[in-house]
Structure 1
Amino acid sequence: MMRAVRMHQHGGPEVLRVEEVAEPTPGPGDILVRMRATTVNHRDVWIRKGHPHPAYRVELPAILGIDISGEIVGMGGAVEGFAIGERVTANPYIPCGRCRYCVRGRPQYCPHFTVFNGAYAELVAIPAVQAVKLSPQVSDVDAACFPNTYITAWQMLMGKARLTADDVVFVWAGTSGLGSAAIEIAHLAGATVIASAGSARKLDVLRRLGPDLMLDHSSPDLVERVLEFTGGEGATVVFEHIGQATWERSLALAASGARIVSAGATSGDDARMNITQMFVKQVQILGSRLGTMEDAFAAGKQLNAGRFKPLVGATIPFEELAEAHRLMEAGEVIGKVVVTAG
């Protein structure tokens, strides 16, 4: 038996309970990982609350958690290239491998993909093909922050927007897990970075991430400030993960021919857009979700080289995972909310 945090019904953080459950048995192609750290993501909160979109439906009772950092303690008979005791993280995006997109080498567009759940447990069975090995200098906490944020941001900026050093990137909510990852990746690409935050406290934290221009995203002159900074042209890449509250301004501050890449709608789905402004500017709107193993290995190389330092706002023990959800939902933490094993 092992301990896991399970939910038997949808609701508030109180539905998350520490329970004794059976240990998972790894399949032939699986590795069994002892969880050392995981995180809380918006996705976890939406699933817990019962988000109506099919992508957020799980069978109950459920063990949530998509980010994993830990060490291998067992493996299936068909697994090669891994050893007991090795430390790993894993890409939570799992394409079907059989549809027309997967067989043509385009797994990012798989309509039958699944997203891993189950990291809120002492032991986690993961397909070995999803695993990314960790170098000794990468901490468990930093590795736990990697999968959902850095792989997603890498696919958005490098896979979809094709970011180059010539670009000016505007990043909404630069002190969020995804936003801070985007800033680090944009710096690696040599791009100019403009980033926003929503309070004086968050702007102080954002300053440490080194954007070329910082803006309060509640400021009424935000678009004008971006245009002024860019000589009237605007940002060539807009990193969108907010949705309803920011979409009109994202289009307004975008340069002619810009790429708006979006992988989230934390403020809501009902966004408005000036269609004429969109086609006159010839803006490309690029949807994105999580990332492929190509993204995972490329971003993982940077993690293992010490080039990523995730922004961690709180570290909570496993037994208090419900409190970690409360903090995430309340927006009280700047950066990632990490949950560590006992």
Structure 2
Amino acid sequence: MKAIVITRPGGPDVLEFQEVPDPELRPGHVIVRISAAAINRADTYQNRGMHAVPPGCAPYPGLECSGTIEAVADDVQSWKVGDQVCALLGGGGYAEKVSVPAVHLLPIPKGVSLQDAAGLPEVVCTVWSTVFMTSHLSSGENFLVHGGSSGIGTFAIQIAKYIGAKVFCTAGDLTKLEQCRVLGADVLINYKEEDFVKRVKEETGGKGVNVILDNMGALYLQRNLDALSMDGRLFIIGFQGGNSGEVNLGPILSKRLTVQGAGLRGRSVEKKAQIVDEVLTHVWPAVECGKVKPVIYKTFPLAQAADAQRLLETSKHVGKILLIP
């Protein structure tokens, strides 16, 4: 099969389209012939040697895909050859085929195309496991997501609105903010022109938001603490603004704050399976009734993965970028 190989540590230029061995069918796994794969910032970190591949996973980038099952291990009873699925991957999405634990598969939601479904698994599992399973965002609460126009952001806005939260988001220009509004965001904050802490306080009568989903890390840490309400919860999923800095810990004590962080890729097969099960139960109905949808910005042929990553790194996109084998 063909796949995108990381030839050395570096930026998108290190990616090469090469012939590689087909994946092996292992117990508990299926082989998926990929119809589309979505790209994520974690892929660009893997290029640079900063995001380790979990043991047993394919070395090629790619954390989510959709496609058709081509082979099924003897001990897998829940899926069959020919089933159309989308998959949460530990790696290997930038390829024509991938081996996936059967417990990490989801059916294609009704009303979503096989290709577009590739943009769901990683973002859905990330947001559901952080904002809902861990931070317990609930109806009537205030929720802030940074980077509202990203793949994570576009989904987080929709699902938070669906469960009845008031949604705040940040983005860097008016066009992106307008698209966030269309997806359901209630309060739009241009982080280049206004202080999101001040705006949050104005919109909440000085109370702050209950939950923040943050991809910036150190750059926003103090301001995130200041923007949270009593008993607020901050969940950090990225370090685009750095991973080291000084912070006044006072708000954590005075407001009884919870600060947590986690990645998805490195979790155990069993933990990921639990997240996938919750997504099927709680999120798939929202997708199938049209309240939540994948937001696809652009597609590229698999061989042009480097160009797709370059676009991702400009942050000009809204939603997901897909690769088509």
| TM-score using structure 2 length | 0.90
1:328 aligned residue: 312
Amino acid of the structure 2 residue aligned with 1:19: Q
Q: Deviations over 1:33-63 (max 9, x none)?
A: 1100111111100010122x6x46889x931
Amino acid of the structure 1 residue aligned with 2:224: S
1:84 aligned residue: 81
Contact kept in structure 1, 2:108 and 2:114, CA below 8 Å: no
Q: Does 1:295 align with 2:269?
A: no
**Structure 1 residues 161 and 49: CA distance shift in structure 2, 3 A:** same
Residues of 2 paired with 1:220 and 1:24: CA distance? 49
* SS of the residue 2:4 aligns to: strand
Name which of structure 1's ranges 314-323 and 296-305 shifts more when overlaid on structure 2.
296-305
Superposed displacement of residue 25, structure 1:
2.4
Residues of 2 paired with 1:56 and 1:244: CA distance? 25
Superposed displacement of residue 24, structure 1:
1.6
2:176 aligned residue: 202
Q: Which of residues 217, 240, 250 in structure 2 aligns to 1:276?
A: 250
Contact kept in structure 2, 1:23 and 1:123, CA below 8 Å: yes
Name which of structure 1's ranges 160-169 and 195-204 shifts more when overlaid on structure 2.
195-204
Q: Does 1:30 align with 2:29?
A: yes
Residues of 2 paired with 1:181 and 1:144: CA distance? 13
Contact kept in structure 2, 1:35 and 1:68, CA below 8 Å: yes
Superposed displacement of residue 317, structure 1:
1.4
> Please, which runs of 5 or more residues in structure 1 have no aligned partner?
93-115
Name which of structure 1's ranges 138-147 and 294-303 shifts more when overlaid on structure 2.
294-303
Residues of 2 paired with 1:331 and 1:58: CA distance? 31
Superposed displacement of residue 173, structure 1:
1.1
Residues of 1 paired with 2:2 and 2:71: CA distance? 17
Residues of 2 paired with 1:25 and 1:169: CA distance? 43
1:96 aligned residue: none
- Give aligned-pair identity as a percent: 31
2:121 aligned residue: 147
1:315 aligned residue: 299
Amino acid of the structure 1 residue aligned with 2:65: I
1:165 aligned residue: 139
> Please, which runs of 5 or more residues in structure 2 have no aligned partner?
265-271
Superposed displacement of residue 271, structure 1:
4.1
Residues of 2 paired with 1:182 and 1:271: CA distance? 27
CA RMSD of aligned residues (A): 2.1
1:44 aligned residue: 43
1:18 aligned residue: 17
Aligned length: 315
**Structure 1 residues 225 and 18: CA distance shift in structure 2, 3 A:** same
Matches within 5 A, 1:221-236: 221-236=195-210
2:267 aligned residue: none
Superposed displacement of residue 289, structure 1:
2.8
